[in-house]
Structure 1
């Protein structure tokens, strides 16, 4: 007689997966290809997900890291993470046909940086060194106008020239809890520091972290679908672990470690903001080959935000 599959309670977090900024960025590349024909060049991965990048590559996108890899006259799209001001300036100088797929919430941080600098404030920017969003935001102002602060220890050690003329901004994909500690340290040390208008950490990052918190305590383990270079996905693993649940990042069902899952009766599942839903379904289907899966979606909030496309693509849409 066939051996019965062990039962598995699968708790799927909602919201999860694509956010409005990622949807918009992918659509911009697709519409650019429809408008111009292949190839359309994209500076950096449009979003941090290999499946998305490979799918767009198959449609005619060519991914490069710098503008000097883009031939004269070719169309180019800037990634959702944002770029330093020098990049569109160079594109204009060369006469390239360019589109900016920067997430509007990242763009909002860029505009706040300009406003604060014009008001004479030095900006302490909370973020992760080397991340494209951080590089893009720091590149909105002249060198030295912002100081990067990554940790509470950095916040304790930073020594600005004029403590009375400070402001802070943050990367949009950080841990809500970690960032709150860094900001609290800055506010304690510099009581007159000016904060952003509203929250810089984007709604999608906050919502996905809250959804993980809602299921983590009920799970023996939790899987996050996302890329290793996806900041918001890595933060979801950290959130689950902080809640006391062992967690692991996987890019797709191919990464499932069955030994790691041994003995798990209740498994949590979510996806970072740049991971498509089909990868979630793929993991669920792979689990169903080995377990008798009982699936429950746990919804903590509902997202209805959508962002407009660039005017240059409205007709193509």
Structure 2
């Protein structure tokens, strides 16, 4: 069996920053460190941090007053920040800077009296945080089919923003539908979908045609990982999303001679290697790395950590 190992894959700069922040917070302040929602949407990462003393919560009332709290990479609303202050929590903001950019765009458009269409998935942590910046001004749009049914009182000032982890193709379809119905609509100066999401999608789009099967390492609640699986299937190649080698099913490999392996932006390299080891052991796989682009993006640690840690 031939295995094409896609690159870029796995952790993006935002995930690296968030994970390093939680690691350092545990070292500097000791366990427990409370984390509002999952640090990233990955089962392996969350389980690993639980074993180190992180406690993941969905309500800030679960964090004792004065304790250490970390906001996940997905961002939070102003309301949550205020609750953290009221409870005198030492809050470390590990929001991905690309998500922060969308928040700032939402604030700017709302101040200018725009109605904002946020393209994204209802209930996703990132969407909840962004909508919290200007709930009275933002309308969620999940699909192009939603666009004809949008009801707005004044269509003279309209803008759109997108969740950072969407499928580029899906987002473009929805943006196209919005522009067709509302030609006057404006978007952000620079598109919101993150560089890592785009690069991983591009790799699957280019390489899936060469494979009989696509394996995407990532968790079911990871939006960007789900998009990679969907993209493989749209290209005509069977694709599956799995947390690790334990999820592999023998029937997937019947008649398969070439497998493409990639990973979502919140999936660690350990689970990729575990999957590759399985393919080598059980199928005699020969692994060929294929890089479509180099990534050299790095985000600095949150200010709260930089100020609290000893200077090198």
TM range (shorter): over 0.9
Any conservation in 2 of the 1:126–1:150 contact (CA below 8 Å)? yes
Following superposition, the deviation at residue 163 of structure 1 comes to 1.1
Unaligned runs of 5+ in 1: 1-7
Any conservation in 2 of the 1:10–1:294 contact (CA below 8 Å)? yes
Residue 3 of structure 1: aligned partner: none
Match of 2:201 among 206, 209, 229: 209
Deviates more, 1:291-300 or 1:146-155: 291-300
CA gap 1:316/1:106 in 2 versus in 1, 3 angstroms: farther
Following superposition, the deviation at residue 144 of structure 1 comes to 2.6
Residue 36 of structure 2: aligned partner: 43
Following superposition, the deviation at residue 156 of structure 1 comes to 2.3
Residue 158 of structure 1: aligned partner: 150
Q: Whole-Å Cα distance in 1 between the matches of residues 199 and 279 of structure 2?
A: 26
- Match runs of 1:253-268 below 5 Å: 253-268=245-260
Match of 1:246 among 238, 247, 270: 238
Following superposition, the deviation at residue 162 of structure 1 comes to 1.1
Residue 59 of structure 2: aligned partner: 66
2:35 aligned counterpart, secondary structure: strand
List per-residue Cα deviations over 1:106-145 (Å, max 9, x = no partner): 000000000001111010000000111111110111x331
Residue 20 of structure 2: aligned partner: 27
2:22 aligned counterpart, secondary structure: helix
Q: CA RMSD in A?
A: 1.0
Any conservation in 2 of the 1:31–1:316 contact (CA below 8 Å)? no
List per-residue Cα deviations over 1:174-226 (Å, max 9, x = no partner): 01001101001111111111101201000010000000011100111100000
Any conservation in 1 of the 2:26–2:54 contact (CA below 8 Å)? yes
1:217 aligned counterpart, secondary structure: helix
Following superposition, the deviation at residue 312 of structure 1 comes to 2.3
Q: Whole-Å Cα distance in 2 between the matches of residues 291 and 27 of structure 1?
A: 35
Deviates more, 1:84-93 or 1:154-163: 154-163
Q: Whole-Å Cα distance in 2 between the matches of residues 174 and 195 of structure 1?
A: 16
- Match runs of 1:95-114 below 5 Å: 95-114=88-107
- Match runs of 1:1-317 below 5 Å: 8-141=1-134, 143-314=135-306, 315-316=309-310
Following superposition, the deviation at residue 316 of structure 1 comes to 4.8
Matched residue count: 309
- TM-score computed with the length of structure 2 as normaliser: 0.97
- TM-score computed with the length of structure 1 as normaliser: 0.96
